[in-house]
Amino acid sequence: MSGICVFSVLVDVQGNPHDVQLVKAAAEEVSAKQRSAVQSLDQKGLEAVRQYRFQPATLHGKAVLYRVKTEVLIESTSGDGSGAGR
Cα 23 from chain centroid (whole Å): 9
Q: Which residue has the higher pLDDT, 63 or 81?
A: 63
Instruction: Give yes or no for a contact between 16 and 85, defined as CB atoms under 8 angstroms apart.
Output: no
- The answer to whether residue 36 sits within a structural domain is yes
Stretch 78-84: mean pLDDT = 44
Gap between the Cα atoms of 10 and 65, Å rounded: 7
Query: Is the pLDDT score of 84 beyond 90?
Result: no
Residue pLDDT, tens place only, 14-66: 999 999 999 999 888 777 877 777 788 888 899 999 999 999 999 999 999 99
- The answer to whether residue 56 sits within a structural domain is yes
- The answer to whether residue 83 sits within a structural domain is no
For residue 67, what is the domain's CATH number? Answer: 3.30.2420
Q: What is the tally of structural domains in the chain?
A: 1
- The answer to whether residue 38 sits within a structural domain is yes
pTM of the model: 0.78
Query: Is the pLDDT score of 3 beyond 50?
Result: yes
The domain in which residue 67 lies consists of: 2-75
- The answer to whether residue 85 sits within a structural domain is no
pLDDT value, residue 26: 86
DSSP calls for 32-86: HHHHHHHHHHHHHHHHHHTT---PPEEETTEEE-EEEEEEEEEE---SSSS-TT-
Residue 43: what are its φ and ψ, rounded to 5°?
-65, -40
The neighbour count for residue 62, using CB atoms within 10 Å, is: 9
- The answer to whether residue 81 sits within a structural domain is no
